[in-house]
């Protein structure tokens, strides 16, 4: 992954052994992630009538714990730099460049 976040359904807990942990971090879903993911799965089910999606949504409280947020380390560093630049009122583009080349 070179940017962006992935949400992986990992009911068997096999993901950590099958990724490059030098490049990405695994995170648990926060409430915003869970809400977004639920809505996205619902849109998918509505569009495709996915049986897997329906099964996940029918037991969302039990199934959401099987999702893992995969965050590229470089992307996370850039997002943090943007947030700090906006908070401190400094040039966001310069902060991004510094984070991307740091």
Q: Is residue 81 part of a domain?
A: no
Specify whether the CB–CB gap between 28 and 94 falls below 8 A: no
Q: Is residue 95 part of a domain?
A: no
Instruction: Kindly write down the DSSP assignment for every residue of 27-74, as one continuous string.
Output: E---HHHHHHHHHHHHHHHHHH--HHHHHHHHTHHHHGGGEEEEEEHH
- Structural domain boundaries enclosing 11: 6-72
- The pTM score is 0.76
For 77-90, b/e burial (b = at least 16 CB within 10 A) is: ebbebeeebeeeee
Q: Is residue 101 part of a domain?
A: no
Q: Is residue 88 part of a domain?
A: no
Number of domains the chain is built from: 1
Q: Is residue 16 part of a domain?
A: yes
Q: Is residue 90 part of a domain?
A: no
Mind listing the pLDDT tens digit for each residue in 19-36?
988 899 999 999 999 999
Mind listing the pLDDT tens digit for each residue in 83-97?
888 888 878 787 778
Q: Is residue 96 part of a domain?
A: no
């Amino acid at each position: 992954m070179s940017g962006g976040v992935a949400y992986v359904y990992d009911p068997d807990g096999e993901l950590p052994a099958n990724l490059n942990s030098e490049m990405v971090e695994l995170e648990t879903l926060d409430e915003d992630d869970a809400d977004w993911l639920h809505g996205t799965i619902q849109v998918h089910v509505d569009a495709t009538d996915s049986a897997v999606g329906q099964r996940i949504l029918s037991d969302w409280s039990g199934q959401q714990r099987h999702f893992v947020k995969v965050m590229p380390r470089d992307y996370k560093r850039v997002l943090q730099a943007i947030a700090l630049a906006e908070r401190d009122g400094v040039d966001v583009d310069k902060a991004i460049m510094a984070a991307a080349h740091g």
